[in-house]
Amino acid sequence: MVPMTFGLSDKSGLRAPGEPLVGWPGKPYPLGATFDGNGTNFALFTEVAESVELCLFDSQGAETRVKMEEVDADIWHCYLPGIVPGQRYGYRVYGPWDPAKGLRCDPSKLLMDPYGKSFDGAFDGDASLFSYDINDPDNPEKRNQEDSAPHAMRSVVINPYFDWNHDRRPNIEMHKTVIYETHVKGLTMTHPDVPEHLRGTYAGLGHHSIVEYFKDLGVTAVELMPVHQFVHDDRLRDMGLRNYWGYNTLGFFAPHRDYAASPSAEGAIAEFKQMVRSYHDAGIEVILDVVYNHTSEGNHMGPTQNFRGIDNAAYYRLVDGDEAHYMDYTGTGNSLNVRHPHTLQLIMDSLRYWVTEMHIDGFRFDLASTLAREFHDVDRLSAFFDLVQQDPIVSQVKLIAEPWDVGEGGYQVGNFPALWNEWNGKYRDTVRDFWRGEPSTLGEFASRLTGSSDLYTGRRPTASINFITAHDGFTLNDLVSYNEKHNDANGEENRDGESHNRSWNCGVEGPTDDEEILQLRNKQRRNFLTTLMLSQGTPMLSHGDEIGRTQGGNNNVYCQDNEISWMDWENMDEGLHAFTRYLIHLRQAHPVFRRRRFLAGGPLGQDVAKRDIAWLTPNGDLMSESDWNADFGKSLMVHLNGMAIDEPDPQGRPVEDDSFIFCFNAHHEPITFTLPRRHNVMHVEPSDEENWTVVVDTAEPTGVPEETRSFSGGDTLEIAGRSTVILQRPITTEVKL
């Protein structure tokens, strides 16, 4: 036994300074490091190990190794009295080294705890972090057995106690949800009302000015890009760049240290919890973008940080018959092995931890199709989905899938189980195509506008997470300003990022002084936002789209931790912000825009007295099959009947609302629309015609008419080229048959 080095955390008085460290057997559960007030229990899963050492580090970096003697069902464990929060630690795993068989145990590498709640330090890219000689890549058999500890991160024992002060999750229903996708750092780095020392941090995100901004805007859920502890790629660091997005996870239980204003390693946890509590106090939910499909260790040429050295074959999907290499469904070099029960347990334990201990309200799963791959194909009945379905905690929060990965058969939009909501990539593509004037898109546009019932059979329209833009791609401003990507700043000669963006620059590539083009771009932004916020389903706004944020044509800012990707609060477009706020509040005020069930009216509208939706030509007539199949396909009128909502309110009472007419004109020239007479669409007496008032006109500079414009059924109005007009009719008490 190596004697205890003075400086290791022992504030309990159980052991005099310098006395030998004596370990107790401890318990195999919970996994990770668990402080109980007197000491800490350590537990690590590895079924391949022959022996395991727990490595403790004092304030000077001196290492003390404790051999773990107890093993139960492949869980190595011990209890150390006197070890308190703040203690730095890691593991060394002794076992077989045979990469050809997928065995990569290497005790020269200090390994991070897969269940670590906090981390300290950083990986610096040193050659010792690799188990092969990176200076001799042509000789893969040549080992590097230098000690990696001086160049590796440390896991940190945390204090789990926090006063939540009666915190309660808002539990906002999906049909009332408006999601705002954002980045902890990018959102707050330039905000003038956030104190400078808090910018880019959890504390900055929880600052009252940011919380009030969201509350005023009307969003109900803030979706944070990855906050699980991630590491920066060596390649990027060598180029003077950083992993900004954070899709490079090392620790599935730890909030990313760099986003904490607190100087202490474990301080990030309390700061994160305080941020969540602030949002809950405002009635806003917090959703995490989580990356359980791969880790930061990359492919077989990557470093040994934790999973690879602990139990490579258990944690990772290896190529059958070629176990030296990894199955890569993610484009990152590896994929987690969700066929293994302990890897599944890791994922489920992590999800439960973030819900129970961090009070998170839901998750968005990056490349979720990878988690559903039992063998090769994506299986909607996979073990992962079964576990989520059965879990009494995880099943009760919001679950959002990015329903694709880069493997064969990875595009799985609409194929996830009933509990799940999905990013609807078809909504994004169809709406982009429609507003750039692609012909013959009416049918699919109509389906996406009404919740994509063709995709989500047996589910609710809220299963469709509707979005036009997200972190991955152009901003809304750039979508209407660029035909091509401009990613030169990424150092990859513009080869990275998506090339087929369905974007349109409106006449000139990039910035311009041409007033006509600028007006068209502004109008297109309003068209996109109007379509997004008033479609059935769950809308998601990408951060900064409401203030005109630009990335200068870069559609892949994963490595741009700078002004290219940060919100520019100083130059925010006040008019666009006001219009977005108006649309969100219009949606929230009218249940006709956020139905819990799919609309009954099909492509031709259901021929009943209370037709909930009617699809109309610009002439005001019900659309026929030939109208849907017309080559032109750039204009459409939709009647939403607020008197025909068939789902009750939470108290079981009927829901009634105003009615609305959408007039969409994606053609470059004006089109005259004739408002339908009520007896044409609702089977009522012609004498019951009522006035319609324009509430949205995207051709107006503000998107909202400055003067009241009212029309009756049978009246005509000219809809400007590439614009949307929304008309509203006040609620009536009955519909006469």
Phi, psi of 51 (to 5 degrees): -160, 160
Task: Compute φ and ψ for 288, nearest 5 degrees.
Answer: -105, 135
Cα distance between residue 492 and residue 171, in whole Å: 43
Catalytic residue among 271, 328, 366, 444: 366
Say if residues 110 and 90 touch (Cβ distance below 8 Å).
yes
H or E stretch including 533?
A: helix 515-534
Dump strand ranges (E) for 16-120: 32-35, 39-45, 51-57, 63-68, 70-72, 75-81, 88-94, 97-98, 103-104, 119-120
Cβ–Cβ contacts within 10 Å for residue 596, how many? Answer: 19
What's the burial of 252, exposed, middle or buried (CB within 10 Å: 0-12/13-18/19+)?
Answer: buried
Catalytic residue among 297, 402, 433, 545: 402
Considering only CA atoms, which of 133, 4, 122 is closest in space to residue 63? 4
Task: Give, in order, the Cα–Cα distances in Å from 434 to each of 286, 445, 665.
Answer: 32, 7, 9
Nearest-CA neighbor of 149 among 107, 119, 110?
110
Q: Which helix (H) or strand (E) holds 433?
A: helix 425-435
* SS3 state at 116: coil
| Whole-Å CA distances, 576 to 281, 480, 523, 572, 701 | 28, 14, 10, 9, 9
Cα separations (Å) of 185 from 190, 200, 663? 9, 4, 39
DSSP 193: T
Bond from prior residue into 81 cis (ω within 30 degrees of 0):
no
Number of helices followed by number of strands (H, E) in the chain: 15, 31
C-alpha 90/C-alpha 427 separation (Å) is 46
Smallest Cα–Cα separation from 488: which of 546, 562, 557, 419?
557
Helices (H), 282-340: 307-315
Catalytic site includes residue 574 = no
Kind plus residue range of the DSSP H or E element containing 476: helix 476-479
Longest dimension (CA), the chain: 96
Task: Give yes or no: 366 in active site.
Answer: yes
The residues near 37 (Cβ < 8 Å, ≥ 6 apart) are none
96 phi and psi angles, rounded to 5 deg:
-70, 140
Token reading at 670: 């004006």
Name the nearest CA neighbour of 474 among 494, 448, 504.
504
- The CB density around residue 168, as the number of other CB atoms within 10 Å, is 9
Task: Please state, as a whole number, how many other Cβ atoms lie within 10 Å of the Cβ of residue 134.
Answer: 17
**Catalytic residue numbers, as ranges:** 366, 402
